[in-house]
Structure 1
Amino acid sequence: MKKNSKRNNKLRVCDIVLNSVDAEKENKESQNNFVELLPLEVTFKIFSQLDIQSLCRASVTCRSWNHTIRNSDSLWKPHCLTVRAVCRREIDNDLENGYSWRVILVRNYQKSKVKYEWLSGRYSNICSPVSLPEKIMCPMDADTWGEILQAELER
């Protein structure tokens, strides 16, 4: 009986030590997470200095960063508006449909990239639809195709 109680005491002491180590680790992680320590304005200012790729990478760092970055339209709006060749009309339509700026950026980024490449002349030497790179092509509306055609005619 005494052996069992000693063994149980040892387990309890180990559990207490392990729990205190875990709590210490959580405290250190919390102290190292400036998102939780700084005022929101300062945190947003820091995150607003990141480019799109860095912002996406930061969002997978930890849950609190992900929550802060994912749910902050003020971080995504400038990137969405500055992505090259995104039609304002597409953004306005997405806003009217209630999408967040982050979702609008995700929805329009690939399209804007393809449109920019068309407008900059990257595909000017393509003679047939078979020559188009399928992986990067995406559906575009008639107005966008009109802009591309106009750019091609001006070349």
Structure 2
Amino acid sequence: MDSQRISKQQFANNFLKTLPPELSLYILSIVDIESLCAASQTCKNWNNVIENTDYLWKLLCELNCEDWTDVVEDRASGYSWKETLQRNFKHHAIRRKWIRGDFSSFKSYEDLPGRIMCIMDRHQWGQIFEHELSR
């Protein structure tokens, strides 16, 4: 009975080594960015699997980057999928907040939260202004 508990505990502690690689990658592919980054800090093995599996980072780019212009440019410049996601995720998140109207109702500049700006072209700002006018 104790040996079963130990093996269950060992499995729980390191399922990436215990499960077939395809199943481990599937599990990692369904978590969000924050969870994947936290999982990469769990142990050296998990970090190695996550850091060196471009498929996971490509999938996260596909799920989190709406404007593929920047993604295509970054990939053409030689950035890995992970680096591409790092370069574009915050930018796209900030833009989504502007489009949703998260920054629409502030009375003054002092009321605005930090980190609300990122580099955007006139087309992107045009989209934001169109949404603002329709509110």
Provide the TM-score with structure 1 as the length reference. Answer: 0.67
Supply the distance in 2 between the matched residues of 1:34 and 1:90 (Cα, whole angstroms). 35
Report the Cα offset of residue 129 of structure 1: 5.7
Secondary structure, counterpart of 2:115 in structure 1: helix
Amino acid at match of 2:41: V
Distance in 2 (CA, whole Å) between partners of 1:127 and 1:95 is 40
Partner in structure 2 of residue 142 of structure 1: 122
**Which consecutive aligned stretches of 4+ in structure 1 deviate over 6 angstroms post-superposition?**
none
More helix by share: 1
Deviation at 1:100, TM superposition (A): 1.8
The 3 A distance-change label for structure 1 pair 105 and 137 is: same
Distance 1:123 1:34 in 2: 42
For normalisation by structure 2, the TM-score amounts to: 0.76
Match of residue 97 from structure 1: 77
Q: Which amino acid aligns with 1:147?
A: Q
Q: How large is the Cα RMSD of the aligned pairs? A: 2.7
Q: Kindly provide the amino acid, as one letter, of the partner of residue 47 in structure 2.
A: N
Unaligned 5+ residue runs, structure 1?
1-28
Q: Distance in 1 between matches of 2:108 and 2:127?
A: 19
Identity over aligned residues, as a percent?
41
Where does residue 87 of structure 2 map in the other structure? 107
Residue 121 of structure 1 is aligned with which of 101, 122, 135? 101
Partner of 2:22: 41
2:59 alignment partner in structure 1: 78
Secondary structure at the aligned position of 2:83 is classed as: helix
User: Which letter does structure 2 place at the counterpart of 1:67?
Assistant: N
Separation in structure 2 between the aligned mates of residue 137 and residue 40 of structure 1, nearest angstrom: 40
Aligned CA distance change for structure 1 residues 93 and 131 (closer, same or farther; 3 Å): farther
Larger radius of gyration: 1
Structure 1 position 131, deviation (Å):
5.3
